Structure 1
C-alpha cells in the first residue's frame, strides 16, 4: 500500500530507527506488542518511509503454505499458477507483513526460514523454482506475546532469524495526542479516555482477556465527536467489546463512570 502522505504514527522510542536499519540490511523484523497498540500503523508508516509497497496478510489457523506462496487455479478453462501474497512481495521487492503470525500453522511458517536468513530465497516446490528476493523485499511479522499460549508461539529457529522490536501502549501524553488527531476529538475528551484506558489496563479483573487498547479509545473518541455522551461512547467502544461477562462489564462500567465524574 503506497500513499502520498505518510500514515500517522508517533514514535515512542527508537523503533523507527531500528526498523529502517534492519530494512536497509535486508533483515526480517518481528514486532511484539499487545492488541491495538499500533503495530499495523507502524508498519504502514515505515513502508511509506522506505518507499516500498506493503502487502499485508492477516494470519489465521487455516492459513496454508499455498495461501502464502500460491497455487494452480482454473481460469478461463485453463489451469494457471497464481502467486500468493508472499511470492508477490518477493518478486516485487515489497514489504510483506504477516499480522499475528503465530495464528498460522507452524508447518506454514517454516516456509519463511530461507527468506529470513542470508539466503533471502523462496523455494516454490510446485513450480520447481527458487526465487531470490528482489531488492527492497522485507519480511515483517507481528504477534502478541501476552495473549498467545505456549502451544501458539514462534519457534526458536524462526525467532532467532529476526530483529525484534517491542511496541506497547504509548505514554499518556502521546496517547492523548494520537486520540485527538485520529478521532478529531477535543483534548479534554482524549485525556478522559486515556485515564479510563490506563485504569482498565492496571485493573486486576479476572475474566478480562484483553485490556483497553489505543484502538478502542480512538473508537470511543470518534463516537464522542459524533455527539454521543462520553459515558455512552465509552461503554459502547470499551466495555462492550472487551467482555461478555455481566460482572466484568459492570466493573468496567464502574471504572468508566468514576473517571468521567472526575
Structure 2
C-alpha cells in the first residue's frame, strides 16, 4: 500500500494573476469537464505555466508540475524502489501521485524529455486512463479528477526534439502567444509595479525585439522579462541598466545584436 498523500500541499491557496487573451479560460474549463488531455503551445515566458496555475486554482484542483529535461527517465515520472533501513520501499513519482489523488499533472516543456520517457503517458491519455507500474506489478486506474497537461515551445522544435504523432494526437491543443500591446502593458503594470507609461515603453521595446526572431534572435523578449525589468525600475534602478540586465544580456551574446537591442532601449529611455 502507498502512503497517504496530503492533497492540500498541491493546492494553490491564492489566485495567480492571469489576464485572458481570448476564450482560453472557457476552453480549458470545458476540456477539464471531459478530462481531455491538453497541449499548451507557445513561446517562452508568454504565460503558459501561469495559465495552468490559474486554472488549477479556479477549479480547486491540486496541481503537480514537472519541469522536463533530457536526463529525465520514465522512473522519474512514474516512481522507483528506494533503499531504506528496512529494505526497499516504493516511492511514487509525480505522474503516479497525480493519477492517484486526482491532480492536474503539468509536464512543462515536455519535448525536452526523451521520447522513451514520454511514451509512459500514453495509457493515461486514451480511453484506458491507467498507468501500469511494471516494476511494482501494479496497474493504477486514474482518479476521476486526474488530467494531464503538457506544454512546449514550438520555436524550439526540430526533428530530434519533437513529439511523435502518436503522442500529439492524444491531446487537445491551445495556442498561446504574447498578448497584444495594451493588454501586455496592463500585465506588466500590474505584475511589476511600474507606472503605465513605463510599462508601455517596455512593451514597445519587446515588440521591436520580437521582430528580430529568426533574424539574429532565437526568441523575442518574453512578458516575464518585461516584468523583471519593471520590478527593477520600480525599485529605483535606472531604466537603461534595468533593461540591459533583463532584456538584453539574457537574450544574446552577439555584440551586434546587443547593440541593436540597446539602441531600442535608448530610443525609449535614453
Give your verdict on TM over 0.5: yes
Q: Which residue of 2 aligns with 1:159?
A: 168
- Residue 75 (str. 1) matches residue 80 (str. 2): no
Contact kept in structure 2, 1:205 and 1:248, CA below 8 Å: no
* Partner SS for 1:44: helix
* Partner SS for 1:223: helix
CA-based RMSD = 1.2
Q: Which residue of 2 aligns with 1:126?
A: 135
- Residue 27 (str. 1) matches residue 36 (str. 2): yes
- Residue 91 (str. 1) matches residue 100 (str. 2): yes
In structure 2, how many angstroms separate the alpha carbons of the residues matched to 1:145 and 1:204? 13
- Residue 243 (str. 1) matches residue 252 (str. 2): yes
* Partner SS for 1:119: coil
Cα 1:24–1:54 change in 2 (3 A) is: same
Aligned length: 261
Q: Which residue of 1 aligns with 2:241?
A: 232
TM-score normalised per structure 2:
0.94
Q: Is there any run of 5+ residues in structure 2 with no aligned partner, and where?
A: 1-9
In structure 2, how many angstroms separate the alpha carbons of the residues matched to 1:77 and 1:252? 59
Shift of 1:6: 1.4
Contact kept in structure 1, 2:12 and 2:62, CA below 8 Å: no
Q: Deviations over 1:83-137 (max 9, x none)?
A: 0000000000000000000000000101111101111111110111111110211
Q: Is there any run of 5+ residues in structure 1 with no aligned partner, and where?
A: none
- Residue 213 (str. 1) matches residue 215 (str. 2): no
Alignment counterpart, residue 114 of structure 1, candidates 123, 134, 142:
123
Shift of 1:29: 0.4
Q: Which residue of 2 aligns with 1:143?
A: 152
TM-score normalised per structure 1:
0.97
Q: Deviations over 1:165-195 (max 9, x none)?
A: 0010001111111111111111111111011
Shift of 1:234: 0.6
